[in-house]
Amino acid sequence: MKRAFAAVAATVCLFLLVQLGSLALVEPFMSAGFQAVEDPSDPTNSLLYIIAILVATGVMLAAMKFGVDRLLQGLVLFAAVFISFYVFTVVVPPVVAVAGLNLVAVALALALGVGLLVYPEWYVIDAAGIVMGAGAAGLFGISFGLLPALVLLVVLAVYDAISVYGTEHMLALASGAMDLRLPVIFVVPLTLSYSFLDADNPESLEDDTPESDAEAEPDEGDDVSTATGDAEPVDTMAEDADTDADSDADADDPAAAEAAPDEHADPFARDAFFIGLGDAVIPTILVASAAFFRPGGVELLSVPGIALTVPALGAMVGTIAGLLALMWFVMKGRAHAGLPLLNGGAIAGYLLGAAAVGIPVVEALGVAPYL
């Protein structure tokens, strides 16, 4: 239970850091002119992004199939450096600049990429994930109006469910991403001595897929909760811990072995817990969008350093509620797609927050201009 509470608390903290970081970046990104589209209210923006995800998914699967994993690793690291550069550009003062380029921001972004390449320990990956997650959510938040953001979350939740319970290709992507130590996950260590570098590569998740939704128990105890990130879908899973002492004790005492719970049924009886970076990023897009586009002209809350509205706060709370529900499924030993719960919680929380300040539903959904 201590490990379970530690994993839940640490995961919630990581999600909050991504959410608060994105809210802190919303206004600086806009001031820097980083809005990616001309018309943020156009819902087709979401469709284009979804197509990009499908294409990127196909490329990743092909790269793994044909043995060009290092090319895939290079593309992901490039994306990490690219997004972190945007973050450092607005965070770090341009004390050294050449031709308008913030050289300190460039150096920090490159250092992040080098760290991920040469020493992808869990704390390096987590730190990079917070920077990347906050940056990606902030960039998409100011580029996707309320309706496009809602469309994006709904479609990706459905896609996530299909890719886990239907085609199951998300599980293959997760296995490949873990093998390559790609920075598209958060790693939550559950032992003080845990090292992500020294850990054995996880077994293929394709062999641990539940045979039915009614009785979803991974064969080897690897609990799965999928995530869809910035074109890098990843699955949540737990890694087996060393349990030689427990095994010896059970062998010596058959009665104790019979009474003891099955270790493989407990996903927290491991050395570390993994959750996809996309699980934090996708619902946070709605948080950032609600803070930036301010449905109904709602006022910003007086919170220093971040742009926050009641609807955005509702989306934050709803996301965390969805995360807690997801973790509950994990603790019960049930495989579950992550985004249906996380995105659903974010949307429900957002709508409740909008209703609390008297914003009509049509305005909250962003469909008023079409009615």
pLDDT in tens, 49-86: 888 888 887 887 787 778 777 888 888 899 999 999 99
pLDDT computed for residue 164 by the predictor: 76
Mean of the pLDDT values across residues 194-198?
86
Three-point CA angle 105, 109, 110, nearest 5°? 115
Mean of the pLDDT values across residues 133-151?
95
| Rounded Cα distance, 70 and 308, in Å | 40
Question: Positive or negative CA dihedral for 195, 197, 200, 202?
Answer: positive
Residue 257: left (phi > 0), alpha (psi -120 to 50), or beta?
alpha
pLDDT computed for residue 223 by the predictor: 37
Mean of the pLDDT values across residues 210-238?
38
pLDDT computed for residue 206 by the predictor: 35
pLDDT computed for residue 245 by the predictor: 44
| Of residues 314 and 2, more confidently modeled | 314
| Of residues 356 and 95, more confidently modeled | 356
Mean of the pLDDT values across residues 151-167?
87
Q: For residue 205, how far is the Cα from the chain centroid? A: 19
pLDDT computed for residue 267 by the predictor: 60
pLDDT computed for residue 325 by the predictor: 92
Tell me the three-class secondary structure of 131-195, residue by residue.
HHHHHHHHHHHHHCCHHHHHHHHHHHHHHHHHHHHHCCHHHHHHHHHHHCCCCCEEEEECCCCCC
| Of residues 4 and 311, more confidently modeled | 311
Q: Does position 97 have pLDDT exceeding 60, yes or no?
A: yes
pLDDT computed for residue 237 by the predictor: 42
Mean pLDDT comparison of 227-231, 245-249, 365-369, highest-scoring range: 365-369
Q: Which residues face 336 on adjacent strands?
A: 225
Q: Would you kindly state where each structural domain of the chain is located, as residue ranges?
A: 2-359
pLDDT computed for residue 255 by the predictor: 42
Q: Does position 191 have pLDDT exceeding 60, yes or no?
A: yes
Query: Where does residue 168 rank: exposed (0-12), middle (13-18), buried (19+ CB within 10 A)?
Result: middle
Q: Does position 197 have pLDDT exceeding 90, yes or no?
A: no
Q: Does position 4 have pLDDT exceeding 90, yes or no?
A: no
Q: Does position 90 have pLDDT exceeding 90, yes or no?
A: yes
Mean of the pLDDT values across residues 275-285?
93
| Rounded Cα distance, 158 and 339, in Å | 8
